[in-house]
Amino acid sequence: MSIHSSFRSGGLAAKHRNVLNRLERLEKLEEAERWNSAESGLFGLPKVRSIKVAMKKKKKKEEDGEGSEGEAKK
């Protein structure tokens, strides 16, 4: 019997999550210089957006080259 996909733990690190834990929120706020540990407390933290970055697939250069050569020969 196979394992259900929801029980697999292999790709959890690469999976996009909408909700961040407190430490992840603090790291993002420190990078954006919106939080200082000396001045601010842990309560009342500002919201942090979690944006998934999608990469566009690159077209093969061979396909572009063949099309232009075929038009030039005619």
Choose between 9 and 50: higher pLDDT: 50
Total residue count of the chain as it appears in this document: 74
The pLDDT of residue 67 is above 80: no
The pLDDT of residue 69 is above 60: no
Residue 74: predicted pLDDT: 53
The end-to-end CA distance of the chain, in Å, is 59
Residue 72: predicted pLDDT: 58
The pLDDT of residue 73 is above 60: no
Average pLDDT over residues 44-73: 71
CB-CB contact of 20 with 28 (8 Å): yes
